[in-house]
Each structure stands twice: as structure tokens, then as C-alpha cells.
Amino acid sequence: MAGQDLYRDDPDVESMLAFQKGDDQAFETLFRKYSRPLVNFSYRLIGNRGRAEEIAQEVFLEVHRAKSTYLPQAKFSTWIYRISTHRCWNELRRPERRLMAMQHRDPTGDEGDRAAVEPVAAGPDALQHLEAKQLQDAVADAVSSLPEQQRTALILCRYHAMGYREAAEAMETTESAVKSLMHRATVGLRDRLKSFL
């Protein structure tokens, strides 16, 4: 019980407890705060925008269903990213997805996102724009090519401002494991992105 009290200062835990007491507005507050980060987390991890949105929806549905059973045993952000991480890993391990990944990195959702940069008239701006787009694609490809665990640790720590301990809790592993994953991920990215350094 003392452990639960540790997290009661977390405003998001407070919102979840308020939701538990019947305050539906508190759930919507959490939803608005986390929906975009969770869509981006899933998108960066699985590389498909449509599926990333579906996973974010499933995560919030799970949070909503936890209304009666929720106990604050971690920061709310750790808890919700843990749910999301497991759903993304399940998605990545689906047999049809593995086959798809072998054939092409992402034939459906990703292409649309990568092409989402608005067209710019020819000129110096266009060149700059193209370079920026190429760099973004190169970074996205490099991150996507990392092994699942390294990618997850990197995305949590680099794009979601998590410390190693919180990332470890979200991934249900140890802090030293995250430290090692981060080292290997950074070495891998440095090698793949050498031409941009």
C-alpha cells in the first residue's frame, strides 16, 4: 500500500483515480494528453500509421476497462507505455507481419507518411526540403532496422524523454539491460548514419 502512495503525487495517477470514482472527464484529459505520443510511439516502433492508431485505440480501451481494477503501482506514463509496448511487440510478432517485413518494410501505412511532406516549388527551398526529407527517411530507416528491443529502448528514451529506469519498467526489464540496449542501438545507428554525421 505504501508503494501505491508513492505514485499518488503523479497528476496522471490522480486523473486515473478520479476516473475510477466516476469522473469521465478525467479519462478524456488522459486521452488528450497521451493519444498523440502513443500513436507516435507505436508508429515509430511498428512503422505503420493506420495500425499505430489502432493500437493506441486498443491501449485506451484497456485503460478504460481497467477503471474498476486500477491500482497505482507505477507512474501512469510507465503503465500506459508498458501496455503499448506489449501491444506493439505482439503486432511485430504476428506471422503475417514478419512475412511482410521480409518482402518490404512497409507497403501500406508508412509510404503515405513518408510522402506527407508538402510539395515545394523548385529552388533552393525545394532542395533543402528534399534533403530534410531524405535525412528524415534515412533516420527512420536506420531506427526501423534496429532489433526490436534496442528500437523500443531507443524510442522510449530518445523520443519520449524516459530515463533508463522508467524505460526498464515499461519494457519489464532491468536498468542495466536498457543501458546496454541503448549503447548497442546508438552504435548501430552511428554506423548506419555515418554519411550524415
Partner 1 sequence: MNGHEISEELVAFLDGALSVEDARRVEKHLERCPSCREILEDFRRTGQLLNRWTEIAPSPGFEPRVLTHIRASETRRPVSIGFGNLNRWFFGSPIRWSAVAAGIVLMAGAAYWIFPLSRNEDVLTEAEKDEMATHIDLYVDYGVISHLDTLKPMDATPPPQGDESSIINTA
Q: Which residues bind partner 1 (CB under 8 A)?
A: 28, 31-32, 35-36, 39-40, 43-44, 49, 53, 56-57, 60-61, 64-65, 113, 116, 132, 135-136, 139-140, 143, 154, 157-159, 163-164, 179-180, 182-183, 186, 189-190, 193, 196-197
Given phi > 0 = left and psi -120 to 50 = alpha, else beta, which region is 47?
Answer: left
Q: By the 8 A CB rule, do 14 and 8 touch?
A: yes
Closest approach of partner 1 to the CB of residue 95, in Å: 27
Closest approach of partner 1 to the CB of residue 99, in Å: 25
Residue 47, classed as helix, strand or coil, is: coil
Select 5 or 32, whichever has its Cβ closest to partner 1.
Answer: 32
Closest approach of partner 1 to the CB of residue 37, in Å: 8
Select 71 or 132, whichever has its Cβ closest to partner 1.
Answer: 132
**Helices (H) then strands (E): counts for the chain:** 11, 0
CA distance linking residue 117 with residue 130, whole number of Å: 9
Question: C-alpha angle with apex 150: 63 to 165, nearest 5 degrees?
Answer: 60
Select 8 or 187, whichever has its Cβ closest to partner 1.
Answer: 187
Which residue, among 103, 7, 112, 93, has the nearest Cα to 45 in the 3D structure?
93
Closest approach of partner 1 to the CB of residue 145, in Å: 13
Select 36 or 104, whichever has its Cβ closest to partner 1.
Answer: 36
